A and B are shown apart, each in its own frame.
Chain A
């Protein structure tokens, strides 16, 4: 999955004042999830890219990765649910070029056809990493998602993401990550608007304190006429502790507390526990998720249960020897009496 596109403008933080941005950031995430999940070389690369950074300096503290990926391990075991019927054809045209055709049939407004294209450039940083990566998708009414990722130098990476809906730019953001030997500094500029002088700036700094422990801080700054007082800033702190197969990670700020625990129990089973509180809306959600890999059966199963009584699962099975993947998704809420089923077929990739 193209998780690396996850242009996460941290979720809950601005949720009241900044509903728009967080909503769009979220939909960017979704689009990232629904955009071509194939191009195996690519997705591996990007995972590898963070891994190489980690293993590179194994003897000393090593690069801690970016703040965006702080909770990644825990998040990755949670299922990504979808609804309705989904049919996707991934067509690798050449090593540098892939297109996707997606047909989504569901009750939400994301229903319909989407065309996606990915171009991978020729700048080679390692045998499996090629840059720039340019990907986008468009639907028949002209809504476009565009992403550009480029590793400018071995230490500096830029990511640009934007979303255009109904001929309006609903989200645009540029993230620059600088990876030092034992730290990562990032700056994100989101939705800058020179005309009505508004925008969001987010700065991240994550430092590896020891081989196991990384500490970081985040400063989010929002300005604009819609913000009370014209501007506001939120500071939060972050930490991650890796202990063998287990990883603890957490972020804490004035607006909320987010804790994650991840553990790889065996080759087949990984699980994650997450508690996310938002002081502003006085809400807390706890989630338990797990992932089961059955390589012999070509099955990946992800399930979760949370304190809102949601029970959800996604099963992905490769239909060997055909190059097809079947995905089944179900999400059930007992208190609201809601059930959503999704069936997907992915060809190629």
Chain B
């Protein structure tokens, strides 16, 4: 089963880019989803401080 060295290289590049996006994008994505959902009804709006302060 062979991929040509050239194809491997290109595939490797694609994986590397995907990995980097996933690596640095995962936590921001979770935070984005959480903020997009917003606060529970009746509670004040979320701000970045809600992540740290009680």
Contact of A144 among B11, B27, B31 (CB under 8 A): B27
Say whether A117 contacts B31, CB under 8 Å.
yes
Say whether A194 contacts B37, CB under 8 Å.
no
- The DSSP consensus for interface residues of chain B is helix
Cα distance A164–B25 when bound, in Å?
Answer: 12
Chain A: number of interface residues, binned into ranges: 20 to 34
Interface string of B8-26 (1 = CB under 8 A from A): 1001100100011011101
Say whether B37 contacts A97, CB under 8 Å.
yes
Query: Closest CB of chain B to A77's CB: distance in Å?
Result: 32
Cα distance A1–B45 when bound, in Å?
Answer: 29
Cα distance A164–B18 when bound, in Å?
Answer: 13
Contact of A195 among B12, B31, B40 (CB under 8 A): B12
Q: Which 10 A-B pairs have the closest CB atoms?
A: A97-B34, A117-B30, A119-B33, A96-B37, A146-B26, A94-B40, A119-B34, A119-B30, A138-B27, A164-B23
Interface centre among B12, B22, B46 (most CB of A within 10 A): B22
Query: Closest CB of chain A to B10's CB: distance in Å?
Result: 10
Query: Closest CB of chain A to B25's CB: distance in Å?
Result: 10
* Closest partner residue, chain A, to B15 (CB atom): A195
Query: Closest CB of chain A to B32's CB: distance in Å?
Result: 9
Q: Which residues of A contact B37 (CB under 8 A)?
A: 94, 96-97, 119, 122
Say whether A117 contacts B27, CB under 8 Å.
yes
Cα distance A138–B24 when bound, in Å?
Answer: 10
Contact of B40 among A95, A101, A118, A135 (CB under 8 A): A95
Q: Can you name 23 A-B pairs with beta carbons within 8 Å?
A: A91-B50, A94-B43, A97-B35, A97-B37, A99-B51, A117-B27, A117-B30, A117-B34, A118-B30, A119-B33, A119-B37, A122-B37, A135-B30, A136-B30, A137-B27, A138-B27, A142-B24, A144-B23, A164-B19, A164-B22, A194-B15, A195-B8, A197-B1
